[in-house]
Amino acid sequence: MKTFNTPAPNIPYYTPVQDPPAGSALSPNPPPLFTPLTIRGVTFHNRIAVSPMCMYSSEDGFFTDWHLVHLGQFALRGVGLVIIEATAVRPEGRISPHDAGIWDDNHIAPLKRIVDYVHSQGIKIAIQIAHAGRKATTNVPHVIECDPTLPYVVPREYGGWPDDVVGPSAIPWDSNHAKPRELTIPEIQNIQKAFVDAANRAKTAGFDVLELHYAHGYLGHEFLSPISNKRTDEYGGSFENRTRFNVEIAGKVREVWPEDKPLFVRISATDWVENEESWTVDDSVKLVRKFKEIGVDLVDVSSGGNTPAQKIVVGPGYQVAFAEKIRKETNSLTGSVGLIREPKFANDIIASGKADLVLLGRQFLADSGWVFRAAEELGVIVKWPRQYHRCYNVKKPRPDDDTNETAK
């Protein structure tokens, strides 16, 4: 059927094409936050990304209609990149029994449904793949908050695996966590293969970007930090050995991930621990140089999460300085996270060269229309979804359009 309302391509239902996508700058000389960023063969139409946020809303790892609506809202509202939450490469690599997963080929179809919808809006989408290590089989945060008397470690009869938690060493995160079993070399190799298999599934699902999760005290971070890694073999001891697990995975994943698609890595830049040998921002600089050599394109810089002894100084943009240091000392692209709430502050991060991408998490949960608010505050006209054109009076409304109350 002929139509004047061009459809979005390659989806099994009709929706208008968003060209350019929502959130694209229409004003000349837009502020840096609203300038495009191209990495390999992928262009993000602005520098605003939805940070991966665990939602604890899966069963057996499967994404559902809830995730489609949750993630779809951000695509509809103009972000440059949506990053799907930490998605486990093995069932025992989940933080909780209700974490998302990508360890089975059956997980591909529901993921592809989300990817196809986000693409129908002209937006790019990434997935973060992860293994929780010694922080696995814990209860869902919003469940514990409602009833603190419930067990923190989920027992087997409630879908947990307290006897099958693993880590680089047999050191629990804290007394309220399960005690992990130290991984053998063959088990390490099997987990590395699980990351590669997950990357291949993500490729089949059509993701634009893949992110490896090496932060927040999960397995990748556990190998890096001497606080949690006391091994004496080739995966422990020296900096070279402690980084081996992560560098090997990144190299193997880069080999199977399409050459024209970016590979990101999220790290914790520091353990935030003094008076004890720990992971530091200087260590992160050295690690990022290794990542750059093997084809990692951007480092998503967070911090902390590996020990209850951490002393984090929290405030707006409290992790920006880490991204800035890594960017300047390695000449690598970085993303910055951590209480970035105000549009002018976010724009200044990009404008001053502290990072190349800003990632917002909780702020988007509180304000899914943050991109449009940022555009208004920064004085730039941006594209809105075609179906929502009435809410922004870029063009004079038709005289006969009595539904266009907002634009009148």
What are the CA-CA distances from residue 408 to residues 18, 201, 225, 295 (Å)?
Answer: 24, 49, 59, 52
Q: Are 126 and 208 in contact, with CB atoms under 8 Å apart?
A: yes
Q: Is the pLDDT of residue 395 over 70?
A: no
Q: Is the pLDDT of residue 338 over 60?
A: yes
pLDDT confidence tier of residue 393, bands split at 50, 70 and 90: low
Task: Give the pLDDT confidence score for residue 392 in this predicted structure.
Answer: 66
CA distance 251 to 290: 10
Q: Mean of the per-residue pLDDT values for the chain?
A: 94
Residues 230-275: tens digit of each pLDDT? 999 999 999 999 999 999 999 999 999 999 999 999 999 999 998 8
Residues 349-370: tens digit of each pLDDT? 999 999 999 999 999 999 999 9
152 a catalytic residue: no
Mapping DSSP onto H, E and C, the string for 248-275 reads: HHHHHHHHHCCCCCCEEEEEECCCCCCC
Q: Is the pLDDT of residue 28 over 80?
A: yes
Residues 91-120: tens digit of each pLDDT? 999 999 999 999 999 999 999 999 999 999
Which residues, in sequence order, are CB contacts of 258 under 8 Å at separation 6+?
A: 203
Q: Give mean pLDDT, residues 306-324.
A: 93
Q: Is the pLDDT of residue 397 over 60?
A: no
pLDDT confidence tier of residue 10, bands split at 50, 70 and 90: confident
What are the CA-CA distances from residue 59 to residues 55, 56, 97, 98, 221 (Å)?
Answer: 12, 9, 7, 5, 26
Domain 32-384 belongs in CATH node 3.40.190.10: no
List beta partners, residue 87: 100, 129
pTM to 2 decimal places: 0.94
Q: Are 384 and 372 in contact, with CB atoms under 8 Å apart?
A: yes
Say what percent of the chain tops pLDDT 90.
90
Q: Which two tokens stand for residue 82?
A: 């949506």
* Boundaries of every domain in the chain: 32-384
Q: Is the pLDDT of residue 179 over 90?
A: yes
List the catalytic residue out of 218, 318, 388, 392.
Answer: 218
